[in-house]
Amino acid sequence: MLIGIDASRAFIKNRTGIEEYSYRVIEHLRDKLDGHRVILYLRKNQSASWQSDFILPNNWKIKIINFPYFWTQVGLSLEMLFHPVDTLFVPAHTVPLIHPENTIVTIHGLEYEFCPEAYSLWGRFYMRCTIKKSCQWASSIIAVSENTKRDLMRLYNVDNKKTQVIYEGYACNDKFPMTNDKSISNIYTKYKILDTKYLLFIGRLEARKNIANIINAFEILKEQYKIPHKLILAGMPGFGYEKIKNKMANVNCCQDIIELGHIAEEEKWKLFKNASVFVFPTLYEGFGIPILEAQSAGCPVIASNNSSIPEVASDSALLINPNNAEEIADAIYKLISDENLRNEIIKKGQENVQRFSWEKCGKEISYVILSEA
């Protein structure tokens, strides 16, 4: 069988969310599609990026589609027309107009439907159109959570029979062992947080991630509970960042808010390891990989009680109403003041992550791909 995989989101420098999913799934499909020919479709500017840390199996090859605009709907469609494959797997929710009968697509969530204020008008229109059509065109749909599957069925009338849930995994921190103070990241010395307690958020700094209420809760903690902690926000700017930046500059505790921007993988694990609490009160998540990453590093988690998060975290995190800054602040204070509760949440978190892995995710997706033969 000849299998095509849209790898256009996998091989980029600073991967987040869907890009990380695409890379990890493709990585873990390498030993599971043995005996089948596989083509990875990349954009022109990705022609060398995959070579740095990705070993290509003998029966796999790279195909660069040199099309500057509408890469999926025109470039990949023309490739499917003139060089068809038996099965196409699209890990990032956009099926090309021309596609084989056997096409599998992963849908990560319908955030734009539940948080319209966190997206531009064009962004909502584009996502709604592409995901609706992708669900119609695909022969099989992979939803990353039961919540996402329910949303697809309820909002887009997607057929239950062609949709199955395959949970995402999380990056293992074994590759980046926790080291002692002698090899601490430059982040700690640059921002003078070597011996400082801090609360942590890692993710894109955008409206959907509810950064404003994280700041509101932090201000409450500073004023009412007099906590000594700093608040560290790590991630690239996203939609609504200017309002977030303005809010950071206009709160009384602004001097204790540290914005790091993009961080390297090793730095991420060190931040998780040394954080007092990982705060993740987002407005909607299709899955929520950062929750699992924090838990695997032994960091207690506070997260929202909405969308897929209760399904992913269960009782291993303190779940709060993300629209209530006081509730967020109270939950944080409980974890930093009650050592027994903190240890209990850490233990439950490390048990919870055992349910998920990229290895398991890749294996289950390979079954779907091969069943299309």
Residues 182 and 112 in one domain: no
Please state, in angstroms and rounded to a whole number, the distance separating the CA atoms of residues 313 and 111.
Answer: 18
Does 25 lie in the same domain as 74?
Answer: yes
109 and 68 assigned to the same domain: yes
188 C-beta neighbours (distance < 10 Å), count: 17
Under the banding of pLDDT at 50, 70 and 90, the label for residue 185 is low
- pLDDT of 179 > 60? The answer is no
Same domain, 152 and 262: no
Q: Give pairs for 46-53: CB < 8 Å, separation 24+.
A: 46/7, 46/8, 46/11, 46/12, 49/11, 49/12, 49/13, 50/7, 50/10, 50/11
Residues 59 and 200 grouped into a single domain: no
Structural domain for 276, as ranges: 173-355
**Residue that has been written with the tokens 């993300």 in this structure:** 322
Q: Are residues 223 and 112 in the same domain?
A: no
As a whole number of angstroms, the distance between CA 223 and CA 288 comes to: 30
Rounded percentage of the chain residues whose pLDDT exceeds 70? 92
What confidence category does residue 335 fall into, taking pLDDT thresholds of 50, 70 and 90? very high
What is the amino acid identity at position 349? G
Pair 83, 184 in one domain? no
Does residue 23 sit in the same domain as residue 37?
Answer: yes
Question: Same domain for 223 and 133?
Answer: no
Q: Give the bridge partners for 258, in sequence order.
A: 232
279 and 321 part of one domain: yes
% the chain with pLDDT above 90? 74
Q: Which residues are CB-neighbours of 238 under 8 A, at least 6 positions away?
A: 204, 205, 206, 207, 208, 209
Instruction: Name, in order, each residue with C-beta under 8 angstroms of 250's C-beta and a sequence gap of 6 or more.
Output: none
Provide the domain count of the chain.
2
Q: What confidence tens digit (pLDDT) does each residue in 70-118 have?
A: 899 999 999 999 999 999 999 999 999 999 999 999 999 999 999 888 8
State the pLDDT at residue 182. Answer: 44
- Over residues 20-29, mean pLDDT: 94
pLDDT score for 13: 75
Q: Tell me, what DSSP letter sits at residue 237?
A: B
Question: Domain with 141 in it: what CATH number?
Answer: 3.40.50.2000
